[in-house]
Structure formats: structure tokens, C-alpha cells
Amino acid sequence: MDKIEKVLRILEEEIVPAEGCTEPIAIAYAAAKAKKILGAIPNKVDIFLSGNIIKNVKSVTIPNSNGMIGIEVAVAMGIIAGNSDKELMVISEVSPEQLKQVENYLEKKIIKTHIFPGDIKLYIRLEIESNEDKVVLEIKHTHTNLTKIEKNGEVLLNQVCNDGDFNSSLTDRKILSVKYIYDLTRVIDIDLVKPIFKKVISYNSAIAEEGLTGKYGVNIGKMILNNIEKGIYGNDIRNKAASYASAGSDARMSGCALPVMTTSGSGNQGMTASLPIIKFAAEKDLSEEELIRGLFMSHLMTIHVKTNVGRLSAYCGAICASAGVAASLTYLHGGSYEMVCDAITNILGNLSGVICDGAKASCAMKITSGIYSAFDATMLALQRDALKAKDGIVGEDIEKTIINVGNLAQAGMKGTDEVILKIMTEE
């Protein structure tokens, strides 16, 4: 497999459709798959989850659930109404009759949640029983990465998985660097990547438009747009891009049933990496090819930064995506490789302290902050102003800075993650 083939494989792994926040949807997927293998509605359900999964499910609305929230809802939706063949679209089709069955099932209070004590950031294990039958199903590292399935003690699947490396189930990311991504963006055959990014444009634009018209969360996207119209906020591309990106998150975190194209396991990252570029291209009347190349750079740069951070952590993933946006905006302004490096440096040096305290309405506000910072980082970079090496976590070069951010997220913020989870789970 040559390097471009690996890049295309990486994009296929990372940019996938999902309806709803990916952590509760992963639980629903696991539940639907386990129930399919069991062959019956279970009368006993135990689910074991890593702290980061619990953090990202606790406060987010499950789509097609009539506004319900929580782990037990995600499990019940998967068991009663899930189609595991659809993977992260597992509960995209729920009838009123099924929803009533979900509510009745939840009333039985048979779903018991347990904290998985290990160090794996993304971990789901379901143990379900019906009469004499029992199924055990396990997911590690990525949202649909099944590593173990057992029925009545018989091993149906036992996928070897390196517990210490979330990338072990994925195509090797070592080929990625800022220089390689920049160079490839300029020359890649656009027809190779156009299909996936056409879906990104279609899906993510639709939910952004919904967020601008409906009432979702704190409606920060709609608020920015309203204040542009009132003359309180400037009628400029920066404000419009922030409004558009945050509107998608407003809708998604509040249970909107429209699907999005995710990036690095996150719909918020997928929307952050795409919607500001889509809005920028529209405002600047860029060609379709320029837009596709901009999206290619934004998403692949997001994946590169996020690979070092880890799938789930206390480090806000929207900041990884905002770094991708800054790189793409700089490229679309005609910036050089050195300017792209400066833009990424500026945003990582600025916002790397933003925490992830779970999936919820405030994600849209963090996306807004990230997009505003991406524009600032870009404009500074275009005039060759950048944070210098040894300014805090900024390294000697861009790759060292990205590694430093990864160390901050994985080692430095481990205690932060534990405190966040403790705060969120205290009664």
C-alpha cells in the first residue's frame, strides 16, 4: 500500500456518518449487536464503561428518543430499536411503537452501569442475559471496534488489540506530518477525495442550517447570527463561520436526528473541521476544487493532531479541529508551508488548556472559541507572526509542538480527567 492509498484509508476510517453524539451511539451499537447475537430482549443487562465514555454520555440528548438523556437510554434504544448493521447510524430509524417499548423497558430498571477501572479511554463491555443464554460483547479504542464476543461461553470473536495504543486497530498514522499533508493537499487528484467531502458538505451543512433555525441548547450559533443582523456583531466571515460551525453543534448536542460526518470519532470535530471552511469558501466565492482541497487539509490536519492527543481525553477535541481550520484557512489564503506551521503553532499555543468535560450544550461554545482563534492564528501567520519555541508548550518545530500537545493531553491531563469525572458523577 503506497502513501496515498494509506491516506485514503485513513480518511475512510476517520470520516464516517453518525447520527447523535458518538459515545452514546457507540453504546447503542454495542447493545444492538449484543441483542442480535442473544436473539431475544435481555432481562439482565450490565454495562461496563470507561470514565471518558461515561463523561460523554451523561449530559447529551439521544436522537430519536423524545429528549431522553443518559447511558441507560442509549442501551435501551440499541436493544429495542437498534440496527447494528448501520453502525453509528444504529438508531436512525425509530418508530413511535419502538419508543414506547424503550420507555417501558427503562421502567424495569434492569440496566446496571459499572465503571471500568482500566486505563483504556474508550471501553464498552456489555453482559446481557435472557433465560439461560448470555452474551458478552466488548469494544475498545474506537467506537465500533469489536474486540470480543462470547455467547454461552463460546468465543465468537476474539480480536487481538493493543490496550496501550488506540491506533492499533487503525491504519498506521506515522506517514502523517504537517509537511506531507501540506504538499499532498496541493497535488492530490481531487477525484480521489471528492466523494467523501461532498458528503461532508451535504450532511454537515444541513445540520448547521437546522441549528440556525431551530431552538437547540443555548443556540450560540443563532445568537451570533441574530447579533450580526442587529449590527452588534460585525457582518464578517469570521463571525459567520463561528455562527455556522457552532449552530451544527447546538443542534447535535440537543438530540437533532440529522446525521453528520464525523472526524476522529467525533461529530463536533467533524463539524468544526468542515463548516468554517464551507462558509469561508462560500463567502469568498471559491471554486469547488478549492473547497475540497481546503476540507482535505483541515480534516487530515485534525486527524494528525488528534492522533497524538488520543481518542478521548480531558483535552477538547474541538481545539484539534480548530488547528486544522487554521491550517486550511492559511492555505486557502495562499499561505506557504511555513505560514501553515505558524497558524497551527498559534492556535495550539493559545487554546491547549481548553478541557473536555463531556458532550453537552457547551461544546458549541468551545467550537465558537476555537473558530475565532483559528482566524486570529491565521491572520497572524500570514504576516509571519507566531509564538516562538519555548513559549510554554511550543516546541522547536511544528511536529515537536504537536507531540508536546499529545503529552499534555495524555499524561499531563490524566488527573484533570479524573477530577472532571468525579465532579460530574457526584450526586
Q: Does the pLDDT value for residue 143 go beyond 60?
A: yes
Average pLDDT over residues 155-180: 82
Per-residue pLDDT of 64-116, as tens digits, reads: 999 999 999 999 999 999 999 999 999 999 999 999 999 999 999 999 999 99
CA 156-162-165 angle, to 5 degrees, is 135
- Fill in the amino acid letter for 164: G
Domains in the chain, CATH or no CATH each: 19-168 (3.30.1330), 172-425 (1.10.4100.10)
Of residues 77 and 414, more confidently modeled? 77
Q: How far apart are CA 122 and CA 111, in angstroms?
A: 20
> Residue 241's pLDDT is what?
98
Average pLDDT over residues 21-47: 96
Q: How far apart are CA 59 and CA 69, in angstroms?
A: 6
Residue 48 contacts residue 116 (beta carbons within 8 Å): yes
Cell of 268: 463536533
Q: Which 3 state secondary structure label does DSSP give 386?
A: coil
- Fill in the amino acid letter for 384: R
Candidate from 53-62, 267-276, 328-337 with smallest mean pLDDT? 53-62
> Percent of the chain scored above 90 by pLDDT?
86
pLDDT bin (cut points 50, 70, 90) of residue 159 is confident
Per-residue pLDDT of 240-249, as tens digits, reads: 999 999 999 9
Q: What is the pLDDT of the chain when averaged over all its residues?
A: 94
Average pLDDT over residues 134-153: 95
Q: How far apart are CA 216 and CA 374, in angstroms?
A: 24
Residue 21 contacts residue 312 (beta carbons within 8 Å): no
Q: How far apart are CA 184 and CA 131, in angstroms?
A: 56
Q: Which 3 state secondary structure label does DSSP give 190?
A: helix
pLDDT bin (cut points 50, 70, 90) of residue 1 is low
Per-residue pLDDT of 362-410, as tens digits, reads: 999 999 999 999 999 999 999 999 999 999 999 999 999 999 999 999 9
Average pLDDT over residues 341-349: 98
> At residue 423, what are phi and psi to the nearest 5 degrees?
-60, -45
Q: Does the pLDDT value for residue 427 go beyond 60?
A: no
